[in-house]
Structure 1
Amino acid sequence: MMSRCSIVPSPNEVQLFHSLSGIQRLAETHRFKAWFLDQFGVLHDGKQPYPGAVDTLEKLASKGARMVIISNSSRRASITMEKMKNLGFDPSLFVGAITSGELTHQYLQRRDDAWFATLGRSCIHMTWSDRGAISLEGLGLQVVNNVEEAEFILAHGTEAIGRSSGSTQCMKLEDLEKILELCATKRIPMVVANPDFVTVEARALRVMPGTLASRYEELGGEVKWMGKPGKIIYEEAMKMAGVNAADVIAVGDSFHHDIKGANEAGIESAFISCGIHARELGLNSFGEVADTSHVQALAAKFDARPSYVLPAFIW
Structure 2
Amino acid sequence: MTRILSSLADLAPRYQAVYCDIWGVLHNGIRPFDGAVAALSAFRAAGGKVILITNAPRPSAAVIATLDAMGVPRAAWDAVVTSGDAAQDAMLSGAVGRRVWHLGPAKDDGFFSDIPPEHRDSPAIERVPLEEAEGIVCTGPFEEMTEVPEDYRPRFLLAKTRGLPLLCANPDIVVDVGDQRIYCAGALAALYEEMGGQALYFGKPHPPIYDLAARRLAALGGAEEGRILAIGDGVNTDLVGAMGEDLDALFITGGLAAEHFGPDVETPDPALLEAWLSARQVAPLYAMGRLR
Tell me the TM-score normalised to structure 1 length: 0.82
- Distance (Å, rounded) in 1 between the aligned partners of 2:77 and 2:238: 19
Equivalent residue, structure 2, for 1:164: none
Identity across the alignment (%): 26
Confirm or deny: 8 A CA contact 2:31 2:70 kept in the other structure: yes
Question: For residues 218-263 of structure 1, what are the alpha-carbon distances to aligned partners after superposition, in whole Å with 9 as ceiling and x for unaligned?
Answer: 1111111111011221222122112355121010001110011000
Say whether the 8 Å CA contact 2:130–2:159 is kept in structure 1. Answer: no
Give 3-state SS (helix, strand or coil) of 2:257's partner. Answer: coil
Supply the distance in 2 between the matched residues of 1:134 and 1:302 (Cα, whole angstroms).
36
Match of 1:260 among 237, 240, 251: 240
**One-letter amino acid of the counterpart of residue 289, structure 2:** P
The residue that corresponds to 1:157 in the other structure is: 140
Q: Is 1:122 aligned to 2:106, yes or no? A: no
Q: Against the structure 1 CA distance between its residues 93 and 21, is the aligned structure 2 distance closer, same or farther, given a 3 Å change threshold?
A: closer
Structure 1, residues 251-305: CA drift from partner, whole Å, max 9, x if none? 000111001100001110000011001123344x542x12223222332333222
Match of 2:230 in 1: 250
Does residue 223 of the first structure (1) align with residue 199 of the second (2)?
yes
Unpaired runs of 5+ residues, structure 2, are 116-122
In structure 2, relative to structure 1, the CA distance for the partners of 1:303 and 1:231 (3 Å cut) is farther
* Alignment pair present for 1:307 and 2:288: no
Q: Does 1:52 align with 2:43?
A: no
1:272·1:310 contact (CA, 8 Å) conserved in 2?
yes
Question: Does structure 2 conserve the Cα–Cα contact (< 8 Å) formed by 1:273 and 1:309?
Answer: yes
Q: Tell me the CA shift for residue 67 of structure 1.
A: 0.3
Distance in structure 2 (CA, Å) of the matches to 1:177 and 1:203: 27
Higher helix share: 2
Partner of 1:71: 54
Deviation digits for residues 105-148 of structure 1 (CA, Å, limit 9, x no counterpart): 1222245xxxx2xx32111111125xx2333124722222233x
**Structure-2 separation of matches of 1:192 and 1:259:** 19
What's the offset of the Cα at 1:177?
Answer: 2.7
Q: Are residues 1:145 and 2:121 paired?
A: no
Change (3 A) 1:71 1:291: same
- Structure 1: give runs of 5+ residues left out of the alignment: 1-15, 162-169
Paired residues of 1:71 and 1:99 also in contact (CA < 8 A)? yes
Aligned length: 278
Offset at 1:172?
A: 5.8
Once the two structures are TM-superposed, the CA of residue 191 in structure 1 deviates from its matched residue by 0.4
- Find the aligned partners of 1:38 and 1:220 in 2 and give their Cα distance: 31
- C-alpha RMSD of the superposition: 2.1
Map 1:1-315 → 2, pairs under 5 A: 16-27=1-12, 30-111=13-94, 116=95, 119-129=96-106, 132-135=107-110, 136-137=112-113, 138=115, 140-147=124-131, 149-160=132-143, 173-242=149-218, 243=223, 245-283=225-263, 286-287=265-266, 289-314=267-292
Aligned partner of residue 69 in structure 1, secondary structure:
strand
1:93 to partner: Cα distance: 4.1
CA contact 2:138–2:185 (8 Å) conserved in 1 = yes
| Alpha-carbon distance between aligned partners in 2 of 1:65 and 1:159, rounded to the nearest angstrom | 39
Could you say what secondary structure the match of 2:41 adopts? Answer: helix
Please state whether the residue corresponding to 2:65 is helix, strand or coil.
Answer: helix
* Greater Cα offset, 53-62 or 190-199: 53-62
Q: What is the SS of the residue equivalent to 2:108?
A: coil
Task: Give the corresponding residue for 1:165.
Answer: none
**What is aligned with 1:8?**
none
AA aligned to 1:31 is R
User: Retained in 2: the 8 A contact 1:260–1:305?
Assistant: no
